[in-house]
Each structure stands twice: as C-alpha cells, then as structure tokens.
Amino acid sequence: KNEVEQSPQNLTAQEGEFITINCSYSVGISALHWLQQHPGGGIVSLFMLSSGKKKHGRLIATINIQEKHSSLHITASHPRDSAVYICAESSLRDDKIIFGKGTRLHILP
Amino acid sequence: EADIYQTPRYLVIGTGKKITLECSQTMGHDKMYWYQQDPGMELHLIHYSYGVNSTEKGDLSSESTVSRIRTEHFPLTLESARPSHTSQYLCASSVAGNYGYTFGSGTRLTVV
C-alpha cells in the first residue's frame, strides 16, 4: 500500500475553474512536496512545506499536520496547467522521498 | 534554467548492451538520487548518494550500479540492458536537511 494517496487520479476541468488536488499520507513527515510533471517527463518542484500554507502565483499549497493531509489549489486554471501533479513526503525515518501516483490534470480551453 | 543535467534525453538500445546514463548538477548538492518511473506510475528510488564515495541502493531492486567520484556527477550504469529496463530514469539532487529537491529532465530508455 502506497503511504501517499492522491485524489483524484484524473481531473478534467474548463479553463478558469478552481482546481483542488488532495494528498493524504500515513507516517510522520519532515516535509511534504508538490511536484509538476509535464508530458515529456521533466519534473519541477512546486512547493515544499512542513506547516501552514504557501502561495506562488496562482498555486496555493496547504498542509494539516494533525490530519496528515495536504491540498494543492490552482486558481484561474489555464490549459498550460495541464500536467501530472505529484505529492511526495520526506519521511521522518530517513531523507528519502515517497511519491504518490500523481493526479493527471487536463484543462480544456 | 536547469541546474541538473541528464544525458541522453532519449535512448534506444539493443539487448545486452552496456549503457551509462549521465547526471550532473552545478549546485554543489551533497545528496543525489536516481528514480525509475514507468508510464503512468509513481517514481521509485533505485539509488542514492549522500556525498562523494557514498552510494546506497534504494527501495526498488535494480540491476543498475552507480558511482559518486565527484560531488557534481552521479552516473548510472546498466551492464547488460534488457527490455525490462525500458523506463524513464530521473536524477535529482538536494542539499542536506530536506531543503527541496531539483530534478533533471529525465532519460527515456527503450531496450529492444
């Protein structure tokens, strides 16, 4: 069983919609990561957070340590946001990252 | 602007060939990682290094080997490629203490 669960697995939305992707994890973490992977495979690190909330442009990431849950929000979504969004945790046990399976987001123009 | 470079970007190679996937970073990061990712699946750690002359196997069994002779360079070698090695291989680096990771663009390997 993957220790990092994401939902939904796939999401299609219209341009302009507010997008939420959820992530749940089961073990104590030192940090929670949100990554973006475009077709072609390159990965970009969007956020790393251990508490509270972070914002970068139209992207917002939140984390609730007590509930072991994080969300990634995209405001005013755009077709160029279409990508796979991956949640990952850095475990307290070691420095290695455990990845979720990703959420495939498709924004229609 | 990428600070971690992987080459080649794409590689098609015959069964039995020896191949080396290159990964270099210019950030002086101590930690480097190799991940394997099959299409539509999550990334799995196959090797990692905490510094020069340090290499460890990851969570996913792999027939590849790595070396870390220089801080900036972390090549991955397959001595005898097989079709089961067809996958995407992603290199990443980080500073000590989990202060964020930087990923390379990946090498998409096809073994025929």
Structure confidence by residue, pLDDT tens digits, B9-35: 999 999 999 999 999 999 999 999 999
- DSSP label at residue A50: S
The pLDDT tens digits of the residues spanning A32-68 come to 999 999 877 678 889 988 889 999 999 999 999 999 9
Closest CA to B27 of B76, B74, B67: B74
Q: Which residues of B touch A (CB under 8 A)?
A: 31, 33, 37, 41-45, 48, 50, 58-59, 88, 90, 92, 94, 98-106, 108
Q: Average pLDDT over chain A, rounded to whole? A: 90
Q: Give chain B's length.
A: 112
Q: How far apart are CA A6 and CA B85, in angstroms?
A: 27
In order, the DSSP letters of A66-83 are: TTTEEEEEESS--GGG-E
Q: Which residues, listed in sequence order, are joined to residue B92 by a DSSP beta bridge?
A: B33, B103
Token pair belonging to A6: 């994401």
Contact residues, chain B, for A40 at CB < 8 Å: 105
Confidence of residue B1 (pLDDT cuts 50, 70, 90): low
Residue B82: how many other CB atoms lie within 10 Å = 12
> What average pLDDT score do residues A2-14 get?
92
Contact residues, chain A, for B99 at CB < 8 Å: 48
Confidence of residue A95 (pLDDT cuts 50, 70, 90): low
The predicted pLDDT at position A1 comes to 54
Closest CA to A29 of A88, A87, A92: A92
E strand segments, A1-109: 4-7, 10-14, 19-25, 29-37, 43-49, 52-56, 59-64, 69-74, 83-91, 97-99, 103-108
- Is the CB of A86 less than 8 angstroms away from the CB of B42? yes
Closest CB from B44, B94, B103 relative to A42 = B103
The pLDDT tens digits of the residues spanning B42-81 come to 888 899 999 999 999 987 777 899 999 999 999 999 999 9
Closest CB from A30, A33, A99 relative to B42 = A99
Confidence of residue B98 (pLDDT cuts 50, 70, 90): low
- Is the CB of B98 less than 8 angstroms away from the CB of A42? no
Cα angle vertex B44, ends B85, A91, to 5°? 165
Alpha-carbon separation of residue B40 from A10, A27, A41, A83 (angstroms): 11, 24, 11, 12
Q: Which residue of A has its CA nearest to B6?
A: A42
